[in-house]
A and B are shown apart, each in its own frame.
Chain A
Amino acid sequence: MKAWLDMMRAVLTRDAGADRVVPPAGFTVWLTVFTSGAMAFLTVFALALSLASGRLAESWDNELARSATLRISAPAGQMAEQTAAALKVLEQTPGVASARALSDAEQQALLEPWFGPDLPIDSLPVPQLIEVIETEDGYDSEGLRLRLQAEVPGAVLDEHTRWRRPLIAAAAKLRALGWVSILLIGAATGAMVTLAANAALAANSRVIAVLRLVGATDSYIASAFVRRFTLRTLIGAAGGTLLGLIAVLLMPGAGDAGAFLTGLRFQGLHWIFPFFVPPLAALVAFLATGYAARRVLERLD
């Protein structure tokens, strides 16, 4: 722990001249910058995907509200009788939290957008609607249908939102997959930086020997490498994040017509998340290079 703190201090407080002890590495620098940029770009997308599928799952789930509608179409004379029978069946059905016949006024309100406010609802053969609210576990849809068929011939069970249920589960899985991708991208970044740092350390074993000859501690030597890779990763990741944000911005906004993709932009406070990507990438690089450097220095002793 102390070694890490020493190195953190060395990385943060080092004067620029001391960075020059490690010779410049030419084009491999750009490989690190490019790779971390690409990783950051992908992270922004995985992040957008995760947050969007999360929102989707949530809003569908809210809309669903665990409600269904029972519609009774019967000759005027039998309407009251069948409604009562249906309510009785529903009352006895496990998984039904409550069932309530809509009043004429409520039904009229529902029809108003189509027929205007003056519809004489009493004189029209409008079906009676019963609002059914499920419990947490839900009812057995098939069983209820069969019983209604037998006891209330005019009843039709309309489970208008039930079909969305597997989609909600899929959206939740998509969100989890997004987070797993982000973790994998982070791990891959760490692995990439470790490989690059190992190569740099191996190529500079003579430099390390000279530094040791003049009294350099492991922290000093390691920080020269760590600082370099942390900076490169930070720069690359900042560029990649910026491009990722621009690409996400080019997606249509949530207000536009369309389906799933419309919500891919970040919303509200979520815009903050991508700005954590570059510092986190730099942290991963710092830890990975520090670990690689300590191991190599141990071996070169």
Chain B
Amino acid sequence: MIELENVAYSYGGEALLTDMSLSLPAGSFHFLTGPSGAGKTTFLKLCYGALRPTSGALRLFGEDLAAFDRDAVALARRRIGVVHQDCQFLDHLPVIENIALPLSVSGLAAQDQEDNLQELLNWVGLTGRANALPPELSGGERQRAALARALILSPDIILADEPTGNVDWEMSQRLLRLLVELNKMGKTVMIATHDLALIRAAKAQVQARVLRISDGSIQAAGADL
């Protein structure tokens, strides 16, 4: 699904990520850890084409990202569900319309997906907050709404940046189960998180690999995780 070959990235100054080679096969489940500021968010942005490698090659769905124009990136993104670390929403639209936004953007009628939408809202426990505006939500509610939005198009890949950062243990277990469920349906999942307990809980349910970014490079984490 996503392959990196000697990928490096820098925000202009010093290189942040160097020489990363990695392959995320279809149906795999990965965790991404590392100290704050190590480059986890940056890595995910590379994976969904928001940033382009400064050097090296990145292949998305088997095709070289370098050959993607903006429209191609947009189309690829409809197959990648992204939960952004600071959950970006359109603050003037109610939660339910924000969650349905990927449908509207891809030219699908939200009415036809009404069942899907309600089920998803129920899954993330936001049925009662469907008509609230995003600024009125708690941090945890925002994260759950962001996850629902990432899943509405039933994407092949799910990239989640700290999806459980603001929710309680019970809710984080529930979200994890949702992601595990989706993984069992064949979706490729990658979660960036500091939450070691979450990783351990996941390992009990699914074949998950843990990657660790530090000092600009990425390695498989030790067996203690």
Question: A residues touching B (Cβ–Cβ < 8 Å)?
Answer: 15, 17-18, 20-21, 23-24, 206-207, 209-220, 297, 301
Contact = CB atoms under 8 A, between A and B. Distances in A.
A297 to B, nearest CB: 8
B92 interface: yes
A37 B6 CA distance: 58
A204 to B, nearest CB: 10
6 contacts: A17-B110, A21-B104, A206-B88, A211-B101, A213-B88, A220-B105
Interface string B151-184: 0010000000000000000000000000000000
B102 A21 contact: no
B84 A207 contact: no
B77 A213 contact: yes
Contacts of A15: 104, 109
Given A20-B97, A220-B105, A215 B75 contact: yes
A214 B101 contact: yes
Contacts of A210: 88-90, 101
**Pairs A-B, 7 closest by C-beta atoms:** A215-B77, A215-B78, A23-B92, A214-B102, A216-B105, A217-B74, A210-B88
A213 B82 contact: yes
A77 to B, nearest CB: 99
Nearest to A219: B71
B3 to A, nearest CB: 21
B71 A217 contact: yes
Tell me if A's interface is mostly helix, strand, loop or mixed: helix
Given A216-B74, A217-B71, A217-B74, A17 B104 contact: yes
A184 B50 CA distance: 42
Contact of B93 (A20, A215, A219): A20
B149 interface: yes
A211 B105 contact: yes
Nearest to B97: A20
Interface in B119-156: 149, 153
A211 B89 CA distance: 9
Given A24-B92, A209-B88, A210-B90, A217 B70 contact: yes
Contacts of B55: none
A301 B84 CA distance: 18
B78 A18 contact: no
A225 to B, nearest CB: 14
B106 interface: yes
Interface in B62-113: 70-71, 74-78, 82, 84, 88-93, 97, 101-102, 104-106, 109-110
Contacts of B75: 215, 217
A210 B142 CA distance: 14
A213 B71 contact: no
A251 to B, nearest CB: 47
A220 B103 CA distance: 12
Contacts of B104: 15, 17-18, 21
B158 to A, nearest CB: 13
Nearest to B100: A17
Nearest to A13: B107
B125 to A, nearest CB: 21
